[in-house]
Amino acid sequence: NEELDKLRHAATRALLTRRDVLIVASVSCIFGLGSPEEYQSFMAYIRKGETRSPAKLARQLIDMQYERNDFDLARGRFRIRGDTMEILPAYEEVG
């Protein structure tokens, strides 16, 4: 289920990046996430205005299981148009 997957990623992200999080859910909601260390290895921190090589960032996103699709931007995908890269995280509906 696409909505449950989005919520699962959002909850995991919150647990790893915030201190004020409490999650109440069934055990089945966390199956398939792997260890916290493994999940964190699939995180990239990008700051507004930061300069990075587009090719290296694209490679990092692909290694993190993102899909490049220059036409249909959806959860877990990124696209490059000219000198602009758009990334839609797995825990968001809109970028």
How do the domains of the chain map onto residue ranges? Answer: 1-43, 45-95
Task: Tell me the whole-structure pTM to 2 decimals.
Answer: 0.67
Instruction: Determine the pLDDT at residue 95.
Output: 58
DSSP label of 81? E
pLDDT for res 62: 94
Half-sphere exposure of 58 (CA within 13 A, CB side): 14
Condensed to tens digits (0 to 9), the pLDDT of residues 28-77 reads 666 666 777 887 787 888 888 888 888 999 999 999 889 999 999 999 99
Q: Which fold has domain 45-95?
A: Penicillin-binding protein 1b fold (3.30.2060)
**What pLDDT does residue 11 have?**
85
Residue 23: predicted pLDDT: 80
The pLDDT of residue 35: 76
Give 32-90 as a DSSP string.
Answer: T---HHHHHHT-----TT----HHHHHHHHHHTT-EE-SS---TTEEEEETTEEEEE-T
pLDDT of residue 12 exceeding 90: no
Q: What is the pLDDT of residue 33?
A: 67
